[in-house]
Amino acid sequence: MTDIRYDVAVIGGGVIGSAIARELSRYELSVCVIEKEEDVCSGTSKANSAIVHAGYDAKPGSKKAERNVKGNAMMGDLARDLEFEFKRNGSLVLCFADEDMPKLGELYQRGLKNGVEVSILSGDEVRKMEPNITKEVVAALWAPTGGIVCPFGLTIALAENAADNGVEFIFNTAVTDIKKDAEGYVLVTNNGEIKTKAVVNAAGVYADTIHNMVSEKKLHITPRKGDYCLLDKEAGGHVSATVFQLPGKYGKGILVTPTVHGNLLLGPTAVDVEDKEYTATTAAEIADVVKKSAVSVKDIPYRLTITSFSGLRAHEDGDDFVIGEVADAPMFFDAAGIESPGLSSAPAIGVEVAELVAGKFDAKKKENFIAKRKGFVKLAEKSFEERAAKIKENPLYGVIVCRCMDVSEGEIVDAIHRTLGARSLDGIKRRVHQGMGRCQAGFCTSKTMEILSRETGIPMEKICKNSTGSEMLSRKM
């Protein structure tokens, strides 16, 4: 590709890669992020529960527990600095049978050990707090620090801020092999070779494949698929807290939660799959989501389902995060096996890995680091006066493209032209939520394609839903 040698190449533009890149960008280092898709936030980071876990769940002393609690504590400030959507709505873990009470007690104790604020509520107290909780619930664990976040918003904010601080993002580029050389590593990709002194492996479900290219101590990641149902905003107020189920006689449990966008989210299932690209929903799993969610929460208006989707968790055999320099590969750092609570832990993992890597370089911190990032203009959330003023400033803010989510042409144009701007329909959707509403882009697909084509010069026939190969049209008539 070029003769440049980066100090650090981060493989993977998900929430973990983006968090690490953002923290690395505080230092005097040349950093790139290599992403196989056309945009950041295209794998596990885009299809998950969007929960910032309180941290009571993971085993005390595990990497998961520690990073989760740290990440949760960091999320509020980060959301303010980088302007993404985050809300502490609190989490409930429901207990359905008296004989399961000891398990709830265990969870409570674990919460205390992990340093999380937790309390036990009676069934009636829970129903007072959440009137739609079923009568079968006998008690619940309440964790007020639990939260919900826009996973796209978080990842894109981190990535944009990293890019604003000099990190180079290389898209549509998949690492197919890694060679060691005298000065570090040569990454072989579909777009040529990329030279680097250090590598950070944040490749999600592919982190084992990447790790195993350089190390004899093999990792093994199983993609654990989870199917979800997303309900219309009309159902968003059905619960206000995130409602989990105590693992028990109903299996691993399905959560019911509002999202920061005001929808209701149900899921996920947990099915181990072989194929790292297998993100197809199945009828059986969707039926399971429906059945089990009804155990926690009554009268869920399933007819308001607007979409279902599936995501893969990167489950490592060791059942914990794998973070650190690889013993037999100096200057190669793993951030692997980052499954739940990975999203919650991302800010903490970012700092940890960046400090580790920067330490090896003995790198200095930049003086001109830009710590803040302007979020997307969301006109729908503005007051009448603010909105009127914005339209005066740019009339395109007065042209609604997506009726369901109330997204204007001006907001879409912004999403295309800002740092790491959108180049696909999904990229626009993840940034400004166009097409994410009840009609699922039925009305605005053609208009959005026109805007993307006009603003980028990509011909209409080449406009993609996401990566190359997902072209929307076959030909001009």
Partner 1 sequence: MKQYDIVVIGGGPAGLAAAISAKKAGVSDLLILERDATLGGILNQCIHNGFGLHTFKEELTGPEYAARFIEQVKEMEVPYKLGAMVLSISPEKVITYMSKTEGLVQISAKAIVLAMGCRERPRGALNIPGFRPAGIYSAGTAQRLMNIEGYSVGKEVVILGSGDIGLIMARRMTLEGANVKVVAELMPYSGGLKRNIVQCLNDFNIPLKLSHTVVGIDGKDRITGVTIAEVDANRQPIPGTEIHYDCDTLLLSCGLIPENELTREIGVEMNRVTSGPNVDDKLQTGAPGVFACGNVLHVHDLVDHVSSEAALAGENAAAYVLAENQTEKTHKVTLKAENGVRYTVPQTIDVENMRDSVTVRFRVADIYHNRAISVYYDGQKITSRKKRVLAPGEMEQVVLKKSSFAEYPDLKEIVICTEEV
Q: Which residues of this protein are in contact with partner 1, per CB under 8 A?
A: 229-230, 277, 279-283, 285-286, 305-309, 384, 387-388, 391-392, 395-396, 398-400, 403, 406, 438-443, 445-446, 450, 460-461, 464-477
Give the integer Cα–Cα distance in Å for 364 and 358: 8
Nearest distance from residue 450's CB to partner 1, in Å?
A: 7
Tokens read off for 82: 């980088």
Pick the catalytic residue: 53, 211, 238, 433? 53
The three-state secondary structure class of 334 is: strand
Cβ nearer to partner 1, comparing 107 with 464: 464
Say which DSSP state 364 is in.
P
> Of 101 and 399, which CB lies nearer to partner 1 in the complex structure?
399
Active site residue 220: no
Question: How distant, in Å, are the alpha carbons of 97, 105, 131, 304, 318 from that of 228?
Answer: 26, 29, 23, 14, 26
Number of Cβ within 10 Å of residue 381's Cβ equals 10
CA distances 429 to 412, 421, 423, Å, are 9, 12, 11
Nearer to partner 1, 63 or 238 (CB): 238
**Coil, helix or strand at residue 14:** coil
Closest approach, Cβ 41 to partner 1, in A, equals: 15
Whole-angstrom CA distances from 80 to 10, 31, 382, 408 are: 25, 25, 17, 24
Tokens at 37, concatenated: 């898709």
We find the least distance from the C-beta atom of residue 271 to partner 1, in angstroms, to be 13
Nearer to partner 1, 42 or 165 (CB): 42
DSSP-assigned letters across all residues of 187-244: EEETTEEEEEEEEEE--GGGHHHHHHTT-SS---EEEEEEEEEEE-GGGTTS-SSEEE
**Can you tell me which residue has the tokens 């592919």?**
206
The rounded distance, in Å, linking the Cα atoms of 445 and 403 is 11
Q: How far is the CB of 110 from partner 1 (least distance, A)?
A: 36
CB of 445 to partner 1, least distance (A): 5
If the CB atoms of residues 72 and 279 are measured against partner 1, the closer one turns out to be 279
Q: Which is nearer to partner 1, 4 or 473 (CB)?
A: 473
**How near is the Cβ of 384 to partner 1 at its closest, in Å?**
6
What positions carry a catalytic annotation? 53
